[in-house]
Amino acid sequence: MSLDDAQIVNVNPQLQSPDTLQNSSSHGGGFQSKSWRASSVQEVGFVDFGSKSVPQGSQGGGADSEGLSLSMSHREIDNEDARLVYVNDALKTNERFEFAGNSIRTAKYSVLSFLPRNLFEQFHRVAYIYFLLIAILNQLPQLAVFGRGASILPLSIVLLVTAVKDAYEDWRRHRSDRIENNRMSSILVNDRFQQKKWKDIQVGEIIRLSANDTIPCDIVLLSTSDPTGVAYIQTINLDGESNLKTRYAKQETLSRIPEKDRMNGLIKCEKPNRNIYGFHATMEFDGKHLSLGPSNIVLRGCVLKNTNSAVGVAVYAGSETKAMLNSSGAPSKRSRLETRMNQEIILLSIFLVALCTVVSVCAGVWLGRHRDDLDILPFYRKLDYSEPEAENYNYSGLGMEILFTFLMSVIVFQIMIPISLYISMELVRVGQAYFMIRDDKMYDKTSNSRFQCRALNINEDLGQIKYVFSDKTGTLTENKMEFKYASILGVDYSGEGTDFDGEQRGYCIQGATLNGQVWRPKMMVKVDKELLQLSQTGNNMKASKQIYDFFLALAACNTIVPIVVDTSDPAEKLVDYQGESPDEQALVYAAAAYGFMLMERTSGHIVIDIQGERQRFNVLGMHEFDSDRKRMSVILGCPDDTVKVIVKGADSSMFKIIDKSFNLDVLRATESHLHSYSSIGLRTLVVGMRELGIPEFEQWQSSYETASTAVMGRVALLRKVAINLENNLNVVGASAIEDRLQMGVPEAIESLRKAGIKVWVLTGDKQETAISIGYSSRLLTSNMSQVVINSNSKESCRKSLEDALITSRKFVVSGDPHAGGFGALIIDGTSLVYILDSELEEQLFQLANHCAVVLCCRVAPLQKAGIVALIKNRADDMTLAIGDGANDVSMIQMADVGIGISGQEGRQAVMASDFAMGQFRFLVPLLLVHGHWNYQRMAYMILYNFYRNAVFVLVLFWYVLFTGFTLTTAVTEWSSVLYSVLYTSVPTIIVAILDKDVSRRSLLTYPQLYGTGQRQESYNAKLFWLTIADTLWQSIVVFFVPLFVYWKSDIDGSSLGDLWTLAVVFLVNVHLAMDVIRWSWISHASIWGSIVATCICVIIIDIIPVLPGYWAIFDLASKGSFWICLLGIQITAIVPRFGIKMFIQHCKPSDIQIAREAEKFGNSVESRGTEIEMNPPRR
């Protein structure tokens, strides 16, 4: 059925008949929807205790869904920790100016603050302070080595480039802020609604919203166009979820008309906080004390949908809104490679100090030896004889001259610390991010989303990951639930021996009230024929009565909102069930397929079409799902004048509250069915029900009202009320829902394990479900031994860990070759309660370190973070966490690298992550391909930058030793300045972005190549010192070859300086070219173009008469000795490096070199079916 031309239609159930429609537009894919109530609802008798409708919460759902109890995060409010908001009295509310206005500012700078603040932030890098001090020292007459302008040029260029980038980004923020602050809303002023800019809205003002309006600030709903006070909210701008949420106005404020009725009241709410799922407040209105919760507040950035209008009062504005408090972004992280690089920079600093110390000490010794000749030596004249009376040349004494020499040495050798490296790293990371984002292999067609790089500073960490911590639901699986099986009254309706009715188009309703239209559920569900027939026989027989109760519970015990969607066929409508829990959606669709079709939901009642007969049920109360109880419950007033409490939840919590006199055979059969469902990877729920007597209901109602209006301890009191209600239940049945694996997950996990990456799965699901998913995803194998720890005490955990450790150590000693480790550790959340944050953590770490796979079941969100911290704090390995929901945020932020999946559970994980993508399988190209390339390129670039700068500094150092330690330099000051900024910087950046040591195909074919990053083969102390040794040799060649060639000649210092400059630039570029693996025209242009650019610059410098060395290069290049010397330097300097590389490659090749050779002969190898043998893995 085509939905391309669908429309959404909103029907006001009290003011019009179903055939009178009010259109409202929507942003979602051309759809329009309607929330409706059929006028032909059979108004049969039902119990009405005169109770207020209990607000329904934000999160219902099965216990198997990995949700953190949102209500658990509410802070208890007290008189000192409260904000007072006077309704419709902004002056009194803000008389002490303690509340923020509604103007927002995401920009960091103003015109006046930009320069000082931006410079302050940039100088957080110690290297910048170092170069600033160098430039300041060079301004002093006693220490001036370079020209004053030239000395400050490199730092100025780096600061300017960064400042321009920051200014552009901040200009975009200012523009966005201006647009946002100048949007208009309707505000109540002097009993009339007037248009007002968002930035002028104040806390306490009453705001009126129309359909499709964006909420300007956090408001408490006072009334809506719906007579029951319900409003439908889209929170996609807040958390990325497109499903509509329900929010409610209190019945006491619902009937008030702001323009006519003076609305006065006092809201006492918690102070601003970041919890977007919690709100804790009370309201005094017309002498009544009302409780307010998360279902009564609408947050800034949400959009009003399918509701004609709503009125609310502002409680949080501007920077104090929950959306703004959550807009801080992901925490700043620093890559491990950069941290290690800083250690090497400290070593280079020590080396620099050593060079300067040698020069200054030698200068002191030289001055001491020649102290009697200083007056007359032409190159060191102590006295000025140009005047009739000789004067001192500002000679400050031996001690001060040594100090000045030391400081001048620092100025001359300053580029030993590579200032250009920092900006080069930033540019390279931007380039790497571009190619990751544009990689079509990481493009998700289903969600139309590309890879997102949210943290540029840790790209290279992707190539060093050792541990992957993964959520299950929505990360390994699709999080698209499909109802599969049911167990009702101990009978298993799993489709075994029966046929699914796949040919029919599913359950539908039609009648006079629908003007002949056919309405059917949007999603089709396969049904069991036997169960379908039994569900249609009414509720007279015991089995049929149980089936009736089961599907009634599925249709009623939830927070799903039915939305009717028009299709291209005017005679057919689709009912779309929207809610926050995919489990609930699957269950409601299943109930509709069996003839129990949810038609309408308000804050006070629901309407269900049961086998063609519409029935209305009063919703007398609801207790939301939370992770402590692991269940939710609803109290229904039924058409037969009875009151029922329906509870659904996890079997671990439900079987504790079953009536002891319940049929044990049915109970055992249900437990057996649950085990079989879990064993094949299905998510299970148990449904229970009992009737509630009037006295018991009145007692519950009294307790609920007392708890919900409590100022202190409200959350705990409400939980206690729920626990007292949820007892002595009869088991109605159990459901099984399938959450299919995402495409490519088994292959991805297998590749990750071959790459030496340990994959841990942390899930809130049952142990059997997690194990089943483990097998289907190839995380677990049949030959893998399993250690299961399910303990209920600390001592029991201790014994289990000790026994498992003994077994694992025996395995290690015996050397039994299991792939990747001892086996699989399976542990539940209850055991982790006793292990984490205790002395048992170390034993768990040792055991997990021996295991190839770890499965953690029934874990809470904070336990996920605790497990990541367990490895991160004890091992020297890199960790990565990947998840898709709000319950994964703490885990993602704890890991070295956090990845968010943009899936079905909103964008909370994405917003807290460093990188984001659409599917788990994209982890393979991200880590094995881009991660490897990023690490190898960045590691090479850092070492190359150290070499490039050090070889130039050492040439200057050798020259100082031959010129009386006077720190005169043959290289012109402009060449010294431009060396690392212009002469050699571009090729480094280009190669670090484009070069590939191995092809994508080889990296995916041989995942073990990823181990080079884990073992830090491309950047380590050994390579650093080898680089320094090679640098030392090359600097000696560059300096001494020209020195010997032109010894006792009439060549001047400037000519030698030009030769050394060209020799070094030629050498470092040839060195770079020798290491390039994949050549492209850009690589050729950057490397050879850099050499050409250097020659041009040297010529330009030498044709300026006012600069030293005028015309030197022309005189030098006219002689053949210059060209022979230049060529000889390149050959002599490079030969040792070339020889060692060839020796290693042929006698002791690395895995990368083996794979590279295999690429050259790939076709012939494949045709012979030969397998490439890599080096044995190193642990």
Residue with structure tokens 């990053």? 1013
Per residue in 959-989, is it b (16+ CB within 10 Å) or e — as a string?
bbeeebbebebbbbbbbbbbbbbbbbbbbbb
Tokens describing residue 822: 């001892």
Residue with structure tokens 């195909």? 1001
Q: Please tell me which residue in 239, 471, 914, 1151 is annotated as part of the active site.
A: 471
- In terms of Cβ atoms closer than 10 Å to its own Cβ (0-12, 13-18, 19+), residue 1092 is exposed
Q: Residue 62: how many CB atoms within 10 A of its CB?
A: 27
Provide the 3-class DSSP secondary structure of residue 1151.
helix
Q: Residue 105: how many CB atoms within 10 A of its CB?
A: 15
- How far is it, in rounded angstroms, from Cα 553 to Cα 573? 25
Residue 57 near residue 291, CB atoms below 8 Å: no
> In 443-513, at which residue ranges do the beta strands (DSSP E only) sit?
452-453, 465-470, 477-488, 491-493, 509-510
Tokens describing residue 421: 């490296």
Q: Residue 63: how many CB atoms within 10 A of its CB?
A: 29
- Which pairing describes strands 465-470 and 878-883: parallel, antiparallel, or unpaired? parallel
> Which of 480, 495, 832, 555 has its CA nearest to residue 677?
495
- How far is it, in rounded angstroms, from Cα 1025 to Cα 1138? 17
> Which of 985, 988, 942, 981 has its CA nearest to residue 157?
981
Q: At what angle do helices 126-139 and 398-412 cross, to 10 degrees?
A: 130
Q: CB pairs under 8 A, 24+ apart, for 811-815?
A: 811/785, 811/850, 812/850
Tokens describing residue 502: 């796949």
* Residue 742 CA from chain centroid, whole number: 20
- In terms of Cβ atoms closer than 10 Å to its own Cβ (0-12, 13-18, 19+), residue 1120 is exposed
Residue 566 near residue 3, CB atoms below 8 Å: no
Tokens describing residue 113: 């603050």
- How far is it, in rounded angstroms, from Cα 192 to Cα 183? 19
Confirm whether 471 is a catalytic residue: yes
Q: Residue 124: how many CB atoms within 10 A of its CB?
A: 8
- How far is it, in rounded angstroms, from Cα 1174 to Cα 1154? 7
> In 235-324, at which residue ranges do the beta strands (DSSP E only) sit?
244-248, 265-270, 281-285, 288-292, 297-298, 303-305, 309-316
Tokens describing residue 996: 């590939």
For the chain, the residue count is 1179
User: Measured between alpha carbons, how far apart are the two ends of the chain, in Å?
Assistant: 57
Give catalytic residues, as residue numbers.
471
